[in-house]
Structure 1
Amino acid sequence: MADRTLTQVSSERLDLGEFGHTLTVAFATVKVVVAHNRYREAIPSGENVIVDTEIEQLRAAGLQVVPFQRSSDSIGSLSAARKALLPISPIYGAEAQQALERLIAVERPDVLHLHNPYPLLSPWVIRTAHQHGVPVIQTVHNYRQVCSSGLYFRDGHNCRDCRGKLLGWPAIRNRCYRGSAAQSAIMATTLAVHRPTWRSVDRYIALTDKIAAHLADYGIPADRIVIKPNGLPDPGRPEPLGEGFLYGARLSPEKGLGLLLDAWRRHPEGALGPLRIAGDGELRHLAERAAAERSDITYLGPLDRAGMTAARRAAAVVVAVPTWEDVLPTVILEAMAAGRAVLGTAVGGVPYLIGNGPDAAGWLAAPDPAALAAALPAARDGAAAAAAASRERYLRHFHPDVLTRRLIEVYAATIADAQRTER
């Protein structure tokens, strides 16, 4: 934002042209409940990072933020009685609803902003908020309105078998949720039960145009969908470029490790410089085997946030090559903020992030080994020029100052609409 701070933006007349009106509001008086079921900390979650970042930025802008969060890490310590109710918690989650009712009674929030509701919150929090007159916004991080796994991906390929079905029986047959037919049945039932719940959300935040299209296909009216990507804190002036490539992701089939290794092996050993692989998961053995076979590949193992920052600093290009319709890979945002070029596959939200033309943050390749192999030398040779463009693209489109103002505008419009409806 030019010439203004976020605190100044928190109390001013906002021109909400997209929503058809203007609004004068002092946002220091606005209270937002941010609801999120945190993913397990042992597996790095970009969504957890995004939620934490948004809370920090909203508070810096002067809003009152009340977190309403549960963590999947807590499941192991639940009482026997609570564990017995876990199978139905995605559908209802009694403890969460009672806790949310108490919080609303005490805090009297103006809006509830929901991220991930599974498994401990349940989409029922939307109904609970509405019962108490609180409008609801949801940021859509995946495809779980329709798909039990949330990925539109199974058995190594993209899958939309459950689209348009009242009950996602293909998810049950294919054990799409946690590899369990029973848990998949519960999740498919949850999605069927909560179809009206999801359609009652006051406003959706779609991270990309593809998510907006997904919501429209689900039946959400266009005037209730806003496109606003995630952003990350500015780490400051980029460090000098390192060398070679960094791949950092969960080592699972949809993240493209096998694709990358296939493409890499099409070049002579050492021709592309070093490739460092960070992460953990079911395909860890592929990373370990590749590192044992070739001197230009190093497996770093799972890294915490500080470790990933150091690995990114040591690289010239960050590789993000999902084969599923990845919504908005945080690893790309982190690379752009750090002034590192990105080589990505042309799927999901990756093209939206990287862009095209002279201000692109890097290169796109089709998700097949030959196309990716052809793009690797271009990325090696053009890393310095693309790195500068990557940083500039982050500052213009994904910096928190830009995106926090956008989020404040969404809150303003949603609160104003709810107030008009009450009158």
Structure 2
Amino acid sequence: MKVVVAHNRYREAIPSGENVIVDTEMAQLSAAGVQVLPFQRSSDSIGALPAAQKALLPVSPIYGRAAQRDLAALLAEHHPDVLHLHNPYPLLSPWVVRTAHAHGVPVVQTVHNYRQVCSSGLYFRDGHNCTDCRGKVIGWPAVRHRCYRGSAAQSAILATALAVHRPTWRSVDRYIALTDRIADHLRDYGIAERQIVVKPNGLPDPGEPDPLGDGFLYAARLSPEKGLGLLLDAWRRHPDGALGELRIAGDGELRPLAERAATERGDVTYLGVLDRAGMVAARRAAAVIVAVPTWNDVLPTVILEAMAAGRPVLGTTVGGIPYLLGAGQPGPAAGWAVAPEAAALAAALPTARAQAAALAADARKRYVQEFHPDVLTPRLIEIYRDVAASSGRARE
């Protein structure tokens, strides 16, 4: 089986769980015998583009000419069974769906965010959840609030792209919704039930977990929707040192908040930006991983990494987090899910510290049973085969 994996990579300076998932999935598919044909562009390359391509950048979310030309050549040469799309913005554009269909290739898309409707992809702006653009033909609220990269002009282009490509998105052969909430988002958008399958992301098995460390680790992009302010508000409701150490890793606009907390309290350490080895070491040193976004975060990779490493997670009851942790499901949960409020989080912190050792094995077990490559890779290949068979392109 041949599969084109199409993805516009996010900038490497800002850690992206989506980039990690795409790389991991391609490696898992290759190991399972699938011939993977990467078709990727990187937002890091924009500065080095030729002048002619830079001139076309404003319309690339609508129609990326260079991407369509290159993709058409790849499809004509290799005749793949399926194209699997992740992020199309800004250099690929959703037009890759039309290009694939023009060559008789069915399309699967993994939905990592809400960008069929929301220009930022988050359903979040100005510190609160927002669905102002839902149900509108053109998302003018996104333009008014400068939701895409803080620019009214770029927001207008993306809002136009979303309107133009409504028929494109509805033509995708199969959507992979990472959680039930994403499936609901797609149904609300008008996607037929037969086009949707729920399959979460997974990560490679890092091996048997190390013994628990101590304290808490928060590792995320330091932006408002990721909940750093919420966490620090809750943390300050306890005396300095009462909960062990809080380590903060990452970078972003709220970095000064993390740095200031580290200077004000002896039990807060700001680790800065960590590479992969640094993240492994930071997880090993912790007893509990904290993931407390206030937006409807779809499927935070940091939680998958925590469970794989046998670390329970203190999370918020938003997006896909309760699903990830198994909250309200049969069997033991992999952590604690609390309301995204400072009082609720403050009350949960000492509980998490006291019960971490008891839940560590449950966290690892949930990863092995639900998010291990041995479970998820065969499911993904079956999705490909089903879509290819429906289009008449099935082959081994």
| TM class by smaller structure | over 0.9
Q: In the aligned structure 2, how far is the partner of 1:59 from the partner of 1:201? A: 24
Tell me which residue corresponds to 2:154.
183
Q: In the aligned structure 1, how far is the partner of 2:285 from the partner of 2:43? A: 33
Contact 2:81 2:393 in 1 (8 A): no
Q: In the aligned structure 1, how far is the partner of 2:307 from the partner of 2:317? A: 17
**Which amino acid in 2 is paired with 1:34?**
V
* 2:349 maps to 1:376: yes
Encode CA deviations 1:13-59: one digit per residue, 9 max, x unaligned: xxxxxxxxxxxxxxxxx100000001111111100110011111111
Tell me which residue corresponds to 2:235.
264
Tell me which residue corresponds to 1:211.
182
**Which amino acid in 2 is paired with 1:309?**
V
Unaligned 5+ residue runs, structure 1? 1-29
Matched residue SS, 2:110: strand
Tell me which residue corresponds to 1:22.
none
Identity %: 79
* 2:84 maps to 1:113: yes
Q: In the aligned structure 1, how far is the partner of 2:51 from the partner of 2:388? A: 40
Tell me which residue corresponds to 1:361.
334
Tell me which residue corresponds to 2:168.
197
| Alignment CA distance shift 1:237-1:82 (3 Å) | same
Q: In the aligned structure 1, how far is the partner of 2:60 from the partner of 2:123? A: 23
Matched residue SS, 1:281: coil
Choose which of 220, 231, 235 in structure 2 pairs with 1:249.
220
Give 1:176 deviation, angstroms. 0.2
* 2:281 maps to 1:310: yes
Give 1:420 deviation, angstroms. 8.7
Give 1:305 deviation, angstroms. 1.3
Choose which of 263, 267, 277 in structure 2 pairs with 1:292.
263
Choose which of 12, 26, 30 in structure 2 pairs with 1:41.
12
Matched residue SS, 1:58: helix
Give 1:162 deviation, angstroms. 0.2
Give 1:409 deviation, angstroms. 1.0
Q: In the aligned structure 2, how far is the partner of 1:104 from the partner of 1:203? A: 19
Q: In the aligned structure 2, how far is the partner of 1:70 from the partner of 1:369? A: 40
Choose which of 267, 287, 294 in structure 2 pairs with 1:323.
294
Tell me which residue corresponds to 1:63.
34
Matched residue pairs, number? 392
Contact 2:215 2:353 in 1 (8 A): yes
Choose which of 329, 345, 353 in structure 1 pairs with 2:316.
345
With structure 2 as the length reference, what TM-score do the two structures score? Answer: 0.98
Q: In the aligned structure 2, how far is the partner of 1:276 from the partner of 1:214? A: 34
Choose which of 366, 370, 377 in structure 2 pairs with 1:393.
366
Q: In the aligned structure 1, how far is the partner of 2:382 from the partner of 2:80? A: 17
Give 1:289 deviation, angstroms. 0.5
Contact 2:225 2:295 in 1 (8 A): yes
Q: In the aligned structure 1, how far is the partner of 2:393 from the partner of 2:369? A: 34
**Which amino acid in 2 is paired with 1:58?**
L
Task: Note the 1:130-141 alignment, pairs <5 A.
Answer: 130-141=101-112
With structure 1 as the length reference, what TM-score do the two structures score? Answer: 0.92
Tell me which residue corresponds to 1:170.
141
Encode CA deviations 1:247-295: one digit per residue, 9 max, x unaligned: 0000000000000000000011111000000000000011001000000
Matched residue SS, 2:392: helix
Matched residue SS, 1:359: coil
Give 1:329 deviation, angstroms. 0.2
Q: In the aligned structure 1, how far is the partner of 2:112 from the partner of 2:73? A: 27
Task: Note the 1:67-146 alignment, pairs <5 A.
Answer: 67-146=38-117
What's the RMSD between the two structures over aligned residues? 1.0
Q: In the aligned structure 1, how far is the partner of 2:376 from the partner of 2:363? A: 17
* 2:299 maps to 1:336: no
Q: In the aligned structure 2, how far is the partner of 1:220 from the partner of 1:64? A: 29
**Which amino acid in 1 is paired with 2:287?**
A
Unaligned 5+ residue runs, structure 2? none
Q: In the aligned structure 2, how far is the partner of 1:273 from the partner of 1:200? A: 52
**Which amino acid in 2 is paired with 1:227?**
V
Q: In the aligned structure 2, how far is the partner of 1:85 from the partner of 1:31? A: 31
Q: In the aligned structure 2, how far is the partner of 1:34 from the partner of 1:201? A: 15
Matched residue SS, 1:44: coil
Give 1:356 deviation, angstroms. 2.4
Encode CA deviations 1:98-150: one digit per residue, 9 max, x unaligned: 00000011111011000000000000000000001000000000000000000
**Which amino acid in 2 is paired with 1:295?**
G
